[in-house]
Amino acid sequence: MASVTIDPSGEYLTIINSTGRRRFHAIWLRDNASDPQTRAPENGQRLIALRDIPHDISITKTDLNGDTLDVSFAPEDKVVRFDISWLEEHAYDQAPSRPRGWVAPDIEIWDAELTAHVPTGDFETLLRGGSALLNWLSLVNRYGFGKVTHGPVKPGALFQIVDLFGYVRETNYGRHFDVRTEVNPTNLAFTGMGLQAHTDNPYRDPVPTVQILYCLESSAAGGDNMVVDGFAAALRLREENEAYFNVLANYSARFEYAGDQSVCLTSRRPMIELAPDGELIAVRFNNRSLTAITDVPFDKMSLYYAAYRRFGEIIDNQEMEVTFRLNPGEAFVVDNTRVLHARKGYSGQGSRWLQGCYADKDGLRSTYDAMRRNQNKDAADEA
Ligand code: OGA
Ligand code: ZN
């Protein structure tokens, strides 16, 4: 059973129950009211602006009945109903003791050991949607990477994978691009060269957040793919040498692609990106498109290069990577803000042809969250 007290100032209330003590400000509570005058019932969007809430708002009275708490506010003379369980879920009254480089609780850091249980979905099964799709999306969200197998060996099939969760992000490479050896390649990806583990297109702002590579031919020797958890690499760097981690997070690198006449793409972003509260949110790493770094002060440049070198060594370490060979009709999807991909060189007899495209992580995340919410709702309706 919870108990609720109002601070004499009226500025906040305190809820104490078996799970602890949590305080909520009057202004926060009022702003988060869900009554039909505050939020449109049809779409959940807020109807008022902060200017509509008096700056001197205070809590005058509370009335607790089971899981419902009615809170009265002055000077509006308004009563708003909250569920205690909603307040618990959205509590913000905790000590912020998270280290620089903390990661979201719903993701899991991985290394080569993931090889034994690579998140994989069967093409036709995923297309049917339902729990198989939900499960695959949850794994892609958790590991930032997933494979699809038993797809058709048909150009354009990669779009059916995008359709599972979102929309194609078109770029100067087209709605999709063909990854195979070309005579005058506009990108080193379109050669037989090995490619060091990288995130794609760090020279874009914003960067494409999801990448799909779909195999149509792979009879040439070589050309195996590797993926590396960039967050695992960044955290390992932090453990080994905090100054290395910090210098890559604190200064912007620069990336550029001007591989054909019509484009000149440039960006200025750090290799390790942290949110203001230290959350690790993105990694950018691409030896091919890194350009002259000019945002690191002279007295930090040696340290920066030592850190960049070590970060690359960790990324290249086989203990970090999952290796696989894509067969025709197989594909992989990566969170391009987190997971790096690589390819071994190939040459000689036979052919290799992948189709690639980009999509957006917010779309993937939204499909996953909406499916989850609807599943929970169905379960509640049945109960
Ligand atoms: C790419 C790429 C890898 C491959 O096109 O971005 O990294 O396996 N290709 O060819
Ligand atoms: Zn790539």
* Domain extents in the chain: 3-89, 112-370
Supply the residue whose CA is at minimum distance from atom 1 of ligand 1.
189
Q: 73 falls in which pLDDT band (50, 70, 90)?
A: very high
Closest ligand 1 atom to 195 CA? 7
Q: 108 falls in which pLDDT band (50, 70, 90)?
A: very high
pLDDT above 70 coverage of the chain, percent: 100
Does residue 200 have its Cβ closer than 6 Å to ligand 1?
A: yes
Identify whether the C-beta of residue 154 lies closer than 8 Å to the C-beta of residue 181. Answer: no
pLDDT of residue 119: 97
Q: 380 falls in which pLDDT band (50, 70, 90)?
A: confident
* Model confidence at 382: pLDDT above 80: yes
* Model confidence at 306: pLDDT above 80: yes
Beta bridge partners of 218: 352
Residues 6+ apart with CB under 8 A from 318: 112
Identify whether the C-beta of residue 196 lies closer than 8 Å to the C-beta of residue 189. Answer: no
Does residue 189 have its Cβ closer than 6 Å to ligand 1?
A: yes
pTM: 0.95
Distance, in Å, from the CA atom of 256 to the CA atom of 294, rounded to the nearest integer, reads 13
End-to-end CA separation in angstroms for the chain: 24
Identify whether the C-beta of residue 123 lies closer than 8 Å to the C-beta of residue 148. Answer: yes
pLDDT of residue 32: 98
Closest ligand 1 atom to 341 CA? 7
Average pLDDT, the chain: 96
When pLDDT is averaged across residues 230-255 and rounded to a whole number, the result is: 98
Q: Which CATH architecture has domain 112-370?
A: 4-Layer Sandwich (3.60)
Does residue 286 have its Cβ closer than 6 Å to ligand 1?
A: no
Of 19-23, 46-50, 119-123, 227-231, where does mean pLDDT reach its minimum? Answer: 19-23
pLDDT of residue 363: 97
pLDDT of residue 97: 79
Q: Tell me how far the alpha carbon of residue 362 lies from the centroid of ligand 1, in angstroms.
A: 23
* Model confidence at 95: pLDDT above 80: no
When pLDDT is averaged across residues 345-350 and rounded to a whole number, the result is: 90
Does residue 179 have its Cβ closer than 6 Å to ligand 1?
A: yes
* Model confidence at 370: pLDDT above 80: yes
Higher-confidence position of 19 and 265: 265
Place of tokens 């930032």: 144
* Model confidence at 96: pLDDT above 80: no
The string of pLDDT tens digits covering residues 112-138 is 999 999 999 999 999 999 999 999 999
Q: Tell me how far the alpha carbon of residue 345 lies from the centroid of ligand 2, in angstroms.
A: 13
pLDDT of residue 377: 87
Supply the residue whose CA is at minimum distance from atom 3 of ligand 1.
343
Residues 6+ apart with CB under 8 A from 50: 31
pLDDT of residue 39: 98
Of 284, 289, 341, best ligand 1 pocket probe by most atoms within 8 Å of the beta carbon: 341
pLDDT of residue 94: 79
The string of pLDDT tens digits covering residues 164-205 is 999 999 999 999 999 999 989 999 999 999 999 999 999 999
β-pair type (145-149, 331-335): antiparallel
Does residue 330 have its Cβ closer than 6 Å to ligand 1?
A: no
pLDDT of residue 299: 98
Does residue 180 have its Cβ closer than 6 Å to ligand 1?
A: no
Q: Which CATH class for the 3-89 domain?
A: alpha beta
pLDDT of residue 349: 87
When pLDDT is averaged across residues 97-125 and rounded to a whole number, the result is: 96
